[in-house]
Amino acid sequence: MHYLFRFGQPFETGALLEKPEIESGEKLKDKADLHFDEKLNKWILRFDLKDTDVVYGLGEAMRGINKRGWEYISDNLDDWSITEDRRNLYGSHNFLILQSDSSIGLFIDTPEKVRFDISYTRQDEMIIEFGLDTDVLLLEGKDPQEIAMEFRSLIGQSWIPPLFAFGFGQSRWEYATKADFEEIARLYDELDLPLDMIYMDIDYMDRYKDFTFSKEFSDFEKFVEDFKKKKLHLIPIIDAGVKKEDGYAVYEEGVKNNYFVKMPDGKTDFVGAVWPGYALFPDFFNPEAARWFGNQYKVLTDAGIDGFWNDMNEPALFYSQPGMDELRDWLKDYVKKGPEAYEMFALENHVGAIKNSREDYRLMHHQVDGKWISHEKLHNLYGMKMTDAAAEAFKDLRPGLRTLMFSRSSYIGMHRNAGIWTGDNSSWWSHILLILHQLPALSMCGFLYSGCDLGGFGKDTTRDLSIRFMQLGVFTPLMRNHSASGTRRQEPYQFEHPEDFRHLLFCRYRLIPWLYSEYLKASVNNTMLFSPLSFIWKDDEFAREVEDQLMIGDEMMITPVYTQNAKGRMVWLPESMRKITMKPDGTILQEMMDAGHHYIAYPENELIFFLRKDAILPLAAPALRTADIDFDHLELIGAPKGTYTLWMDDGQSIDASVTKRVLVR
């Protein structure tokens, strides 16, 4: 059952494909404790929480699988210090499930800020604070799994990427020359390391100008072709900001046609600084501007590119022109004061506040149905709008074909067109656990194609951390090693015993037929790809407490190691399960284990996971490219007898029909 309550006149986000009958917001009072706070000028939705209640959801967010114990704010933000105290990240996914005696789901559909106080102010309370113009979807169901499925059916089917996107990708913000890219391909091949994608960060462009190439890549098409011959896909980045530079066609065309975000006067272009220096921001809310920007991808698709990552689309603002002018004046006064009067914190705060400033978001204006609306009112939709604009354009640029695309910033609805990566994580052990916590929450919100920067983006990695990241990454649809410029290099061959990385990559490629099949099932049936254990073992109270194990589909459980120097970890088996160990020599050990707690040794050169006792798992022979995986000859492991229904399609066309093959053991 679900109900949609409308407050004020919400902006149509497009998140819900199926719009239930709309009831007035006041009616929500019949279902929950709701009041209007005059001082805050916000609606407050309040729930009592029992000790045993669990709150799941919020997609890309901080903290645990159970969201209790923190405050979360939907306010898409570029900040690459993803510490435990953060309240907002790059995406806003305002869907949660409260599991109590019965379960309810809530989706707060608004592009504006929403505050979720989940046992933060008071342990026994959940408070959701939202603005005057908001749709609230309430779902009632028997259990969280059922509610998640119902929500997914309302937001529409999750995007299906091309098959190659399930291969491995190597990335680093520093690869700038042809030789850099050629070296990766060469070293991967020399070391027999499986690879499908090499990512091109901003240095392929001419001074960070979208849809241009540096001199190095003046014959880009030929360059792409050479990689294609090696069955490798080059995946360039596209940033939201368009460099302000006379003579740059994209800039000039956008200015001429009023395609960029404006100042409040509706005439002057808003100017903010990002990687290219001063830049203008396409107004994706203006359909004509969105169409125009989407069509710019043509330079790349014409050159044979079939995948993209959209970045800086919160949008990130290092500072704005008005903000910098104001700071300059302030600093002049500050310096005049002399050392005795310097206030260190004032200086720090004033300079720091120039980044991603609210004031700037207030200044930015979009053209919506002929009216000017402040960006602040629409903020959380901007990244989705950029990505949707590209997806729309691909229909003409690559007719009938799927294009790999994922975005940093997102809102629910974008899951129908693209995936996400979880932004600038760090080479920290806690960030292995963070992605593990985010995956089931992302599944609830439809973002099935997702993953984090394996090895960690910021800071210096270590070999063991990279390996442990990979042992989890083997199971994430997006499996990419990416790192920041200036950090320790982290390609597999930078470390001793690259064969351990090779083994994990071979395991991934062996699992691709299964992973792809599970992905298709989750997308078509609106089911969870990753779930908390409690979604499956619904009546088991301990299952609600498990924060470091996940189910993939209905039958596989993963138990990654996330602490340094650990040689293994404690694992809880909710029932008797089969432990699968993929050894480096290619052998596979299968061992039934009893329900309960076990210490499981987990060496760095093995892949370990668990299957339910009747489950059958298909494995392909190891391959170096997804295109070389032999889907026709799959080895079946797991239960001595049983079947697995393998879902498959052609892996590339949009309307591909799914074939279902029953594999019998």
Name which of 36 and 80 has its Cβ closer to ligand GLC.
Answer: 80
Name which of 425 and 526 has its Cβ closer to ligand GLC.
Answer: 425
3-state SS string over 518-540? Answer: HHHHHHHHCCCCEECHHHCCCCC
Q: Indicate whether 194 belongs to the interface with ligand GLC (CB under 6 A).
A: no
Q: Provide, rounded to whole angstroms, the least separation between the CB of residue 356 and ligand GLC.
A: 13
Token pair recorded at residue 512 = 């691709």
Token pair recorded at residue 414 = 């974008």
Q: Rounded to the nearest 5°, which phi and psi values hold at 106? A: -135, 130
Alpha carbon distance 553, 555 (integer Å): 6
Q: Indicate whether 60 belongs to the interface with ligand GLC (CB under 6 A).
A: no
Q: Provide, rounded to whole angstroms, the least separation between the CB of residue 383 and ligand GLC.
A: 12
Q: Residues 161, 423, 446, 638: which binds ligand GLC (CB under 6 A)? A: 423
Q: Provide, rounded to whole angstroms, the least separation between the CB of residue 296 and ligand GLC.
A: 18
Cis amide linkage into residue 315, ω under 30° from 0: yes
Q: Indicate whether 424 belongs to the interface with ligand GLC (CB under 6 A).
A: yes
Name which of 476 and 527 has its Cβ closer to ligand GLC.
Answer: 476
Name which of 91 and 498 has its Cβ closer to ligand GLC.
Answer: 91
8 A C-beta contact, residue 421 and residue 327: no
Name which of 486 and 640 has its Cβ closer to ligand GLC.
Answer: 486
Q: Rounded to the nearest 5°, which phi and psi values hold at 283? A: -90, 85
Q: Residues 112, 201, 283, 314: which binds ligand GLC (CB under 6 A)? A: 201
Q: Provide, rounded to whole angstroms, the least separation between the CB of residue 201 and ligand GLC.
A: 5
Name which of 14 and 423 has its Cβ closer to ligand GLC.
Answer: 423
Burial 142-168 (b: 16+ CB within 10 A, else e): eebbbbbbbbbebbbbbbbbbbbbbbb
Name which of 423 and 498 has its Cβ closer to ligand GLC.
Answer: 423
Q: Indicate whether 311 belongs to the interface with ligand GLC (CB under 6 A).
A: yes
Q: How many beta carbons lie within 10 A of that of residue 570, not counting itself?
A: 11
Of residues 14 through 53, those in contact with ligand GLC by CB under 6 A are: none
Angle, vertex CA 658, rays to CA 644 and CA 19, nearest 5? 110
Alpha carbon distance 236, 557 (integer Å): 34
Q: Residues 173, 220, 509, 644: which binds ligand GLC (CB under 6 A)? A: 173
> 224: exposed, middle or buried (C-beta count within 10 Å: 0-12, 13-18, 19+)?
buried
Q: Provide, rounded to whole angstroms, the least separation between the CB of residue 482 and ligand GLC.
A: 6
Q: Provide, rounded to whole angstroms, the least separation between the CB of residue 311 and ligand GLC.
A: 5
Q: Provide, rounded to whole angstroms, the least separation between the CB of residue 422 and ligand GLC.
A: 10
8 A C-beta contact, residue 71 and residue 120: yes
Alpha carbon distance 465, 467 (integer Å): 5
243 HSE (CA, 13 A, CB side): 18
Angle, vertex CA 158, rays to CA 155 and CA 159, nearest 5? 135
Q: Provide, rounded to whole angstroms, the least separation between the CB of residue 387 and ligand GLC.
A: 14
Name which of 423 and 477 has its Cβ closer to ligand GLC.
Answer: 423
Q: Provide, rounded to whole angstroms, the least separation between the CB of residue 90 and ligand GLC.
A: 8
8 A C-beta contact, residue 344 and residue 350: no
Q: Provide, rounded to whole angstroms, the least separation between the CB of residue 79 and ligand GLC.
A: 10
Name which of 115 and 408 has its Cβ closer to ligand GLC.
Answer: 408
The count of residues interacting with ligand GLC (CB under 6 A) is 10
8 A C-beta contact, residue 201 and residue 174: yes
Q: Provide, rounded to whole angstroms, the least separation between the CB of residue 315 and ligand GLC.
A: 12
Q: Provide, rounded to whole angstroms, the least separation between the CB of residue 452 and ligand GLC.
A: 11
Scanning the structure block, which residue is given the tokens 């405050």? 71
Nearest in space to 168 (alpha carbons), one of 583, 451, 551: 451
Angle, vertex CA 346, rays to CA 340 and CA 350, nearest 5? 135
Q: Indicate whether 175 belongs to the interface with ligand GLC (CB under 6 A).
A: no
Of residues 108 through 137, those in contact with ligand GLC by CB under 6 A are: none
Name which of 173 and 572 has its Cβ closer to ligand GLC.
Answer: 173
Write the interaction track for ligand GLC spanning residues 536-575; mark x where CB under 6 A is met and - where it is not.
Answer: ----------------------------------------
* Residue whose beta carbon is closest to ligand GLC: 173
Name which of 482 and 508 has its Cβ closer to ligand GLC.
Answer: 482
Q: Indicate whether 431 belongs to the interface with ligand GLC (CB under 6 A).
A: no
3-state SS string over 591-604? Answer: EEECCEEEEEECCC
Name which of 109 and 201 has its Cβ closer to ligand GLC.
Answer: 201
Alpha carbon distance 279, 267 (integer Å): 16
Q: Residues 202, 454, 546, 608: which binds ligand GLC (CB under 6 A)? A: 202
Token pair recorded at residue 50 = 């029992």
Of residues 467 through 486, those in contact with ligand GLC by CB under 6 A are: 482
Alpha carbon distance 255, 277 (integer Å): 17
Of residues 70 through 89, those in contact with ligand GLC by CB under 6 A are: 80
Q: Provide, rounded to whole angstroms, the least separation between the CB of residue 451 and ligand GLC.
A: 13
Name which of 159 and 173 has its Cβ closer to ligand GLC.
Answer: 173
Write the interaction track for ligand GLC spanning residues 496-515; mark x where CB under 6 A is met and - where it is not.
Answer: --------------------
Name which of 379 and 544 has its Cβ closer to ligand GLC.
Answer: 379
DSSP run (H or E) holding 659: strand 659-664
Nearest in space to 72 (alpha carbons), one of 557, 498, 438: 438
Number of residues assigned to the chain: 665
DSSP state letters, 545-609:
G--S-EEETTTEEE----STT-SEEEEEESS-EEEEEE-TTS-EEEEEE-SEEEEEE--TT-EEE
Q: Indicate whether 408 belongs to the interface with ligand GLC (CB under 6 A).
A: yes
Q: Provide, rounded to whole angstroms, the least separation between the CB of residue 202 and ligand GLC.
A: 4
Nearest in space to 8 (alpha carbons), one of 22, 18, 21: 22
How far apart, in Å, are the Cα atoms of 518 and each of 414, 511, 634?
A: 21, 11, 15
Q: Provide, rounded to whole angstroms, the least separation between the CB of residue 601 and ligand GLC.
A: 35
Name which of 240 and 600 has its Cβ closer to ligand GLC.
Answer: 240
Name which of 424 and 604 has its Cβ closer to ligand GLC.
Answer: 424
Q: Provide, rounded to whole angstroms, the least separation between the CB of residue 424 and ligand GLC.
A: 5
Q: Residues interacting with ligand GLC, by CB under 6 A?
A: 80, 173, 201-202, 237, 311, 408, 423-424, 482
